[in-house]
Chains A and B, each alone.
Chain A
Amino acid sequence: MTEKDLIIGCTKEDQVCQRELYKKYAGKMMVVCMRYSNNRMEAEDLLQDGFIKIFDNIAKFKQEGSLEGWIRRIIVNIALNKIRATKMLFEDISTKAEVFSNDDATIVDKLSEQDLLNIINKLPNGYKYVFNMYAIEGYSHKEIADNLGIEEASSRSQYAKAKKYLQQKVQHLEKVKI
């Protein structure tokens, strides 16, 4: 079944197509949800709300961009809506003022996806959201500031801290593995 057939089927409320669409994208979107939540239960709630919205609005998808991108955007928006409803705290995270080697990227390669996800999830929520939005979703700091209701400068500094923290953790994990 092609992507177009899937969309047409979902528009007609065909459950076979809806199941197919879910099967195709639920795994990837679950990872997105995990990145914006504190536990699996929260992530599944997000995913559930996301797919309800996707099935309700699939007729609005204009097939100009990729379907996956459109689905991801809906999921992230739902996550951000939930985040907005809660007060975001930027706890202070201690980062050693070390200069890291240029091998960070190669270390990331060596780590499993689950390990990476775990490291990101260990970040305090505020930092986690900023990092996710900037590094993975590709939002600008201005967009992040608008979405999370924080200052643009604050977004920049939090991102820098989050990144540093992650680099530390990645290196530490690598050392432990060795």
Chain B
Amino acid sequence: MTNHNFENKISEKLNQFEIEPSEGLLDLIFEKRAAKSKSAIKLPFAKLAIFAVVATLISIGIFHYLNNQKPEIAKIDNLNSETVISEKMNKTENKTSLADNKTDANSSNSETLKSKADTKVKSNLKVDNTSTFTNKTKNENMFKLVQTNLNKTTKSGASSQVFNISKKEKISETNSLTSENSENLEARYFDIFNKNRPVLESEQHKGKSHLYIYQTASDNYVSSLNINTLTGLKHKMFPTKELALSKVELVENLHKLDYNKPTKKPIFIDFLFSPGLSFFKPKDAGNNFQNINKSRYNQQFGVRISVPISKRINVFSGVNMAQQENLYKGIITENIKYTSIRKLTGYINDPVRGVIPFSYQDTSYVNKTTSTKYNFTNAYKLLQIPLGLSYNFGFKKFDFAVNASSLINIYTNSQGHNIDFEKQQTSSFKSNKKNIGLGACISFMTAYRFNNRFKFIVEPSFNFYKIKAQNYANQMSESVLNNFLTVGLRYNLF
């Protein structure tokens, strides 16, 4: 019991005891907290920057992968295709025999020839399909082979239906042929010494774009060669000439190419970095504020996604991580008018009572000018969500756009100082209160096209918003105008 008393007494005495810490310790605590929250503000920027870099690298990787990958040749299930062809051949044989019976039952010689030709076609097609269209040479051979067979079949009087091969095969052939490079295509279509050069059926020209439609082995099968001096040479095969003409467009410039795709709507993903100068003005500051430096470097990172809603108009949204810093640096001069009342003593020389003192007051109005030097920054951390429209047009390798958007600003942190203009004093504030504000932005985008996927963006932009004082710990409302020169990368997602 006694022992416990000993401890209790010590505990009691020490718990009542107080030692004053050093005077500046609390200010140090505030400073440390401010520095801590500042570093916490920077972290999302770092994260976003890393995300942007990673996303860009992945995009570049995907682009290179897609670019380097030769169009995969459709691998036809050998057995299936063989079965299809066999079925077709059987049907053809039946049809041929029926037709033959109808037309000329006596032409035994021609029938023999026909059957021989059919057998050859069948065996050749089988060989062709088992080779699975794996290389250009084989495709080339197939092309020649089909032509040879066409000649033979025509000679033998067989119907063109013999080559009405399944759709599956057409696709595979189209793909395989498309995989050829420009040199091979040029050699095939433009080399006048090439025996197998396809017959030109029609051609169209528009500016730098040229479209040639060639006959191929089958009547139901045409080859289109689309040459654009900007995009290069493209080769496609279609079942009909009409389809080819409807699908292959002559485009004079690249901009049109982007928007004239009826089936594939592109999505533009922009990774943006916006450094720039900010100007601000505190509300109710009046003329006092003239000598304060009102510009400050600010920056933001963002991702923007645009989708075309018509040929010229895009709708876009995204998210920007921004930190708005308003620097108050300079001298504020304040003219103060005040009333000065002085107590004075006067004297009356009374012949009877002698000198009599009396008090009176002298009231005067004084103009006083005071100057206070300021140097502090008000910082706001915010997430910005733009919602807007852009008008687009293009010229050669350049795309231009005028963007207008409203901004939804989500403030997550604010800190800085308030100025009491009357007392010429400042008081610090800090708040993690989340608030929403509105703003507006207009920007002018120029994008240079590297290739079909990537564009380099330069975009001067002006955004304006008000930071409402009552929502944050700040007592002064601030109007902000940011002049950014945004640079970025646009990735086209089809």
Contacts and interface: CB of A to CB of B under 8 A. Distances in A.
B19 A51 contact: no
A36 B41 CA distance: 34
A28 B15 contact: yes
A61 interface: no
The 9 closest A-B pairs by CB, nearest first: A27-B18, A113-B17, A105-B5, A135-B7, A108-B9, A30-B19, A102-B2, A104-B6, A136-B11
A163 B432 CA distance: 47
Given A15-B427, A48-B32, A102-B2, A109 B9 contact: yes
Q: Which of B30, B36, B429, B433 has the most CB of A within 10 A?
A: B30
A139 B414 CA distance: 41
Interface residues of A, number: 37
B9 A105 contact: yes
A167 B2 CA distance: 12
B20 A13 contact: no
Interface string B92-113: 0000000000000000000000
Contacts of A152: none
Interface string B427-460: 1111111000000000000000000000000000
Given A30-B21, A135-B7, A135-B11, 19 more contacts: A12-B431, A15-B30, A18-B30, A19-B26, A22-B26, A22-B29, A26-B26, A27-B20, A28-B15, A31-B15, A48-B29, A51-B26, A102-B2, A104-B3, A108-B6, A113-B17, A134-B7, A135-B10, A136-B10
B52 to A, nearest CB: 30
B430 A31 contact: no
Nearest to B430: A13
B8 to A, nearest CB: 8
B467 to A, nearest CB: 17
B13 interface: yes
B33 A55 contact: yes
Interface of A: 12-13, 15, 18-19, 22, 26-28, 30-31, 34-35, 44, 47-48, 51-52, 55-56, 102, 104-105, 108-109, 111, 113-114, 116-117, 120, 134-136, 163, 166-167
B3 A31 contact: no
SS of B interface (majority): helix
Nearest to B17: A113
Nearest to B22: A44
Contacts of B22: 44
A105 B2 contact: yes
16 contacts: A12-B431, A15-B430, A22-B29, A27-B18, A28-B15, A28-B18, A34-B19, A44-B22, A48-B28, A104-B2, A108-B9, A117-B14, A120-B10, A134-B7, A135-B11, A136-B15
B14 A136 contact: yes
Contact of B18 (A12, A31, A108, A135): A31
B473 interface: yes
Interface in B306-345: none
Contacts of B429: 13, 15
A37 to B, nearest CB: 12
A113 B16 contact: yes
A151 B69 CA distance: 66
A109 B22 CA distance: 28
Given A13-B430, A52-B32, A52-B36, A163 B25 contact: no
Nearest to B26: A22
Contacts of A136: 7, 10-11, 14-15
Contacts of A167: 6
Contacts of A31: 14-15, 17-19
Nearest to A15: B428
Given A15-B427, A22-B26, A105-B2, A44 B15 contact: no
Interface string B14-51: 11111111100110111011001000000000000000
A116 to B, nearest CB: 6
Contacts of A56: 33
Q: Which of A105, A111, A114, A117 has the most CB of B within 10 A?
A: A105
